[in-house]
Amino acid sequence: MIVKSLADTDMYVFTMQQAALHQVPDTQVRFEFNCRTRGAGLAKLESRVRDEIESMGDLSFTKDELDFIGSLRFVKRDYVDFLRMFRPNPKDVTVWVDDAGELRVSAKGSWVHNIIWEVPVLAIVSELNSEMQSGESEPMGDPAIQKRKLDLFEMRAPKEFKFSEFGTRRRLSRKWQEQVVKDLKRACGDHLVGTSNVLLAMENGLTPIGTMAHQWIMAGQGMRQTRLAHHQKYMLELWTQEYRGDLGYALTDTITLDAFLHDFDLFLAKLYDAGRIDSGDPDIGIEKLVNHYRALRIDPKTKTAIPSDDLDFEKGFGLCERWNDKINVSCGIGTYLTNKCRDDVKPVSIVMKMASCNGSPVAKISDEPGKAMCEDAGYLQYLKSVFNVN
């Protein structure tokens, strides 16, 4: 069994689940798995993925896990009570191989109950893919590669460099991520802000890191309470109603960064502490964010930029050196740490994104064409026209 704890997931699952439970509890959604790496051969994993998902139906939160989650100041008591009773329902998930020979996974139903599936499905597929390539159960990274990364960190890390470990969804294996987090805590000291994995944060005395994912903004496209043109503002304001100044990190690229900044007015820019830049050239993204704050007469040094797209230590060091005198920079680093760690296993680019909300299609456009996701080409074109995206 790969996922042995419901806390073995990213923090944003819990922050979004609590917000959905309190703000939009009747929302119905559908999530779809997609592998962007063509010819990866994941269809061979169909039965094993199905078995792993079925086994998760027996999981529940332990007292220690509930106590840890409940200790976070932004977590409300009634939500902990909800988690105490919560059980994932594998019947909401369908696994099959489509006519093109590609592995498909779909989760459908209440957003509050099905938000739990995204991260474990990706972690399961990633680990099974690693096993398929390496021929090993619970494969571990190459110690020599890991040492080179940590030696590079020790020699080159700027004094101001800050980063979080974001690698759960595309890890080589659960066992390897556990080792990585221990290594980072030992070697990186205060440079390491925390980990997105709640279980590993609890076990290693680290801060669990996470606020919202693309699905939070995407869901607004299917909300009947707002017009499509206003859905980003609506979901950002809904978040502030839930967290009242906590967790003020906004994801900037669901439509595009330009479209986000158009909606990110003085009110929201003062409420939110940071913007997470998850696609496109991070230097361009940070520059646009800095200029936006300046145009609003907000000192960028009171805010944070969080680049998180395909980063490694070298890229992160460079971003810190170029921008930290203008805006605080804190990097989210995932696959580089938890999967790009042995020569005989190639990571696959996999995602599990919201495809519909309340029966309406939703889309992620992004600042990188390869990351765009939408099943309905007509809707995608309409969305682009609404936000004036070429």
Residue 84 lies in a domain: yes
Residue 5 lies in a domain: no
For 57-95, the pLDDT digits (tens) are 999 999 999 999 999 999 999 999 999 999 999 999 999
Residue 1 lies in a domain: no
Residue 183 lies in a domain: yes
Element (H, E) at 45: none
Average pLDDT, the chain: 97
pLDDT of 390 reads 83
Total domains in the fold of the chain: 2
Q: Burial, 107: exposed, middle or buried (Cβ in 10 Å; 0-12, 13-18, 19+)?
A: buried
pLDDT at 369 over 90: no
CB neighbour list of residue 73: distance below 8 Å, 6 or more residues apart: 246
Across the range 13-39, mean pLDDT stands at 96
The stretches of the chain forming alpha helices (DSSP H) are 11-23, 46-55, 63-70, 77-85, 111-114, 118-134, 143-156, 174-188, 198-204, 214-219, 231-243, 257-263, 266-271, 282-295, 313-323, 335-338, 377-386
pLDDT of 118 reads 98
HSE-CB for 223 with a 13 A CA cutoff:
23
Co-location of 234 and 286 in the same domain? yes
Q: Burial, 27: exposed, middle or buried (Cβ in 10 Å; 0-12, 13-18, 19+)?
A: middle
For 311-343, the pLDDT digits (tens) are 999 999 999 999 999 999 999 999 999 999 999
Model confidence band, residue 347 (pLDDT cutoffs 50, 70, 90): very high
**Own/partner long-range contacts of 38-46 (Cβ < 8 Å, ≥24 apart):** 40/129, 40/348, 41/132, 42/102, 42/103, 42/125, 42/129, 42/348, 43/97, 43/101, 43/102, 43/103, 44/132, 45/103, 45/125, 45/128, 45/129, 45/132, 46/95, 46/96, 46/97, 46/103
Co-location of 174 and 213 in the same domain? yes
Do residues 196 and 306 touch, judged by C-beta distance below 8 A? no
pLDDT at 380 over 90: yes
Model confidence band, residue 372 (pLDDT cutoffs 50, 70, 90): confident
Residue 104 lies in a domain: yes
Co-location of 129 and 153 in the same domain? no
Co-location of 200 and 294 in the same domain? yes
pLDDT of 229 reads 97
pLDDT of 133 reads 96
Handedness of CA 73, 120, 197, 332 (dihedral sign): negative
pLDDT of 170 reads 96
Buried b (16+ CB within 10 A) or exposed e, 315-334: bbbebbeebbebbbbbbbbb
Across the range 262-273, mean pLDDT stands at 97
Co-location of 178 and 124 in the same domain? no
CB atoms within 10 A of CB 389: 15
Co-location of 184 and 200 in the same domain? yes
Measure the CA–CA gap between 374 and 364, rounded to whole angstroms: 7
Bridge-partner residues for 104, per DSSP?
96
Q: Which of 45, 29, 80 is nearest to 218 (CA)?
A: 29
pLDDT of 47 reads 98
Co-location of 205 and 243 in the same domain? yes
Co-location of 112 and 219 in the same domain? no
Residue 368 lies in a domain: no
Co-location of 107 and 148 in the same domain? no
Co-location of 60 and 207 in the same domain? no
Model confidence band, residue 195 (pLDDT cutoffs 50, 70, 90): very high
Predicted TM-score (pTM) of this structure:
0.97
Across the range 52-58, mean pLDDT stands at 98
CB neighbour list of residue 188: distance below 8 Å, 6 or more residues apart: 153, 157, 163
Range of the domain at 271: 143-338
Do residues 347 and 126 touch, judged by C-beta distance below 8 A? yes
Bridge-partner residues for 192, per DSSP?
163
Tokens coding 289: 């964010």
Residue 2 lies in a domain: no
Tokens coding 247: 């967790």
Residue 271 lies in a domain: yes
CB atoms within 10 A of CB 227: 11
Model confidence band, residue 243 (pLDDT cutoffs 50, 70, 90): very high
Co-location of 16 and 163 in the same domain? no
CATH code, domain with 51: 3.20.140.10
Across the range 106-114, mean pLDDT stands at 98
Co-location of 119 and 70 in the same domain? yes
For 270-308, the pLDDT digits (tens) are 999 999 999 999 999 999 999 999 999 999 999 999 999
pLDDT at 370 over 80: no
Measure the CA–CA gap between 39 and 22, rounded to whole angstroms: 42
pLDDT of 373 reads 83
pLDDT at 138 over 90: yes
